[in-house]
Structure 1
Amino acid sequence: MTPSDSGASALVIIPTFNERENLPKIVGRVREVLPEGHVLVVDDGSPDGTGQVADDMAAADPHIHVKHRTGKLGLGSAYLQGFAWGLGEGYDYLIEMDADGSHPPETLPEMVARAKARPIAQGGSALVIGSRWVPGGRVVNWPKRREILSRAANVYARLALGVGVKDATAGYRVYNAEVLRALSLENVNSHGYCFQIDMTLRVDTAGFRIEEVPIVFREREIGESKMSGNIIFEAMGKVTLWGFQRRMRQLTGLFSRR
């Protein structure tokens, strides 16, 4: 079933790797709160059989789609492939969501409504982020060390890049298809943690509006987190480079106008 068949305008993209137990739960909650929306599972060849679980759900529900990949190719490339598929199928809004239940689907209707509130040309939001670090947002059951790392990474990204977003690393997002078409996604080669920062920077640099909606982020109950301190520190190295490059472009533009 395509968007034109069902009247759907939103596609929720869920990358998976070994999420056999979590996937049916999160997809069920998404389908409940967005009954007209569609779900695309992008599975990286999960050895635990997640791909087969996704296929079984798709066979039972025409709103669910599955893309199989041959190995663990990374979060960034999973979303980029999901974006490409969703844009080709004509969805108006493309949504990023984790499979582990940390992103509350119950916030989706509000996030999609914010994205739909006004056209981009009239100052509407091109990107709506489910944010942990704006007033009303919080985390539950996170180790204190991980919370400190996330907060510090976001403060550093905000200062280094000159972007006003409080949760640039957040992976819970609603993109207007219009902004994704404008961003030259073929040039994005970021992976993992820094993919979200990279995309935030690109949207901001292009002059589009970014809005943050508070969410309650809960640590996964089943399986292991794929995040580590090393991943965060590696991403911050790239942020330093991007910040330097952005400042140099700004200075070059300033001097060229004189």
Structure 2
Amino acid sequence: MSGTDQNVVTEHGGRALVVVPTFNERENLPLIVERLFSALTDIHLLVVDDSSPDGTGDVADQLAREDSAGRIHVLHRTAKDGLGKAYLAGFAWGLGRDYRVIVEMDADGSHAPEQLHRLLAGINDGADLVIGSRYVPGGALVNWPKRRELLSKGANTYARLALGAKINDITAGYRAFRREVLEKIGLDEVESAGYCFQIDLAWRTLQHGFTVREVPITFTERAIGESKMDGGVIAESFISVARWGIQGRLGTHRR
């Protein structure tokens, strides 16, 4: 690991915490953990497991026991009630401790830990929320089915137009927040999940006057396991984004 990467994590005055929600990611989790700490050794990880029936939680506990540096933590949840709720639980855990930056990252390898330094560099350069974007110059998609790509680009275009938000990849799930953002934007009011959760948090961040920046990443389709995206999440996103857009234009958005 380079000295530059080391400074990226510590320059903001405290450790960064990577929150990784899991459900049936037993095979993927050890791989992503190894890649994360190979890329950035001076970082902490919180695995938020939703009682995975395949034993992912046990794997996470074992990884934590084996990490002599004490960088790996595990939060076990008894309910599987959506990606958004898992992230909210992880955020609350991190905010209750001395972490200055909290990162969202998938467990399936679609978000490259080797590119995390780009998000942290954006924070150190002054941004409040940095989004790892597939749809800015330098961003890329690898092995993604064309149908999923079209759905993703369509959802981003719809959200951008409905909200008037100048974010190219507002649905992206690879992102880094300053703790001050999460403390301010009203996490206790968030009910969204999936695609909609990511849009919701980015929109709240903008509405509260924080700075959002996008950096290019390479998004790679998972090699192990199945995607957890479903039609209900997409429908929720469509309706919620329309409501937020109307509220924004009427001046009744959240502050």
Q: Does the pair score TM above 0.5? A: yes
For 1:162, the equivalent position in structure 2 comes to 164
* Aligned with residue 110 of structure 2, among 88, 94, 102: 102
RMSD value, Cα = 1.6
CA contact (8 A) 2:22 2:52 kept: yes
CA distance in 2, matches of 1:141, 1:16: 22
Instruction: Spell out the pairing of 1:35-184 with structure 2 (5 A cutoff).
Output: 35-61=41-67, 62-117=70-125, 124-184=126-186
Shift of 1:71: 2.3
Aligned partners of 1:29 and 1:105 also within 8 Å: yes
Instruction: Please identify, of 182-191 and 242-251, the stretch whose mean Cα deviation from structure 2 is larger.
Output: 242-251
Shift of 1:232: 2.0
Cα distance, 1:100 vs structure 2: 0.2
Classify the secondary structure of the residue corresponding to 1:166. coil
One of 212, 217, 221 as aligned partner of 1:219: 221
Give the SS at the match of 1:174. strand
Retained in 1: the 8 A contact 2:193–2:233?
no
Change (3 A) 1:21 1:83: same
1:17 aligns to what? Answer: 23
TM-score, normalisation: structure 2 = 0.91
Whole-angstrom distance in 2 between the partners of 1:250 and 1:47? 43
Of residues 40, 44, 59 in structure 2, which corresponds to 1:34? 40
Deviation at 1:230, TM superposition (A): 4.5
Letter in 2 for 1:82: G
CA distance in 2, matches of 1:12, 1:46: 20
Report deviation, 1:77.
0.9
The runs of 4+ residues in structure 1 deviating greater than 6 Å are none
Identity among equivalent positions (%) equals 59
The whole-number CA distance in structure 1 between the counterparts of 2:168 and 2:75 is 32
TM-score, L = length of structure 1: 0.90
User: Counterparts of 1:233 and 1:187 in 2: how far apart (Å)?
Assistant: 20
Q: Distance in 1 between matches of 2:232 and 2:190?
A: 22
Worse-superposed segment, 189-198 or 7-16: 7-16
Q: Which runs of 5+ in 2 are unaligned?
A: 1-12
In our comparison, the structure showing a higher alpha carbon Rg is: 1
- Encode CA deviations 1:102-153: one digit per residue, 9 max, x unaligned: 0011111121011012xxxxxx210000000111111111111110010010
CA contact (8 A) 1:149 1:229 kept: no
Whether the aligned pair in 1 keeps the contact of 2:14 and 2:98 (CA below 8 Å) is no
CA offsets per residue over residues 10-65 of structure 1, 9 Å max, x none?
A: 00000000000000111111111121100000000000000000000011111000
Choose the corresponding residue for 1:238, options 220, 237, 240.
240
Q: CA deviation at 1:234?
A: 2.8
2:6 aligns with none
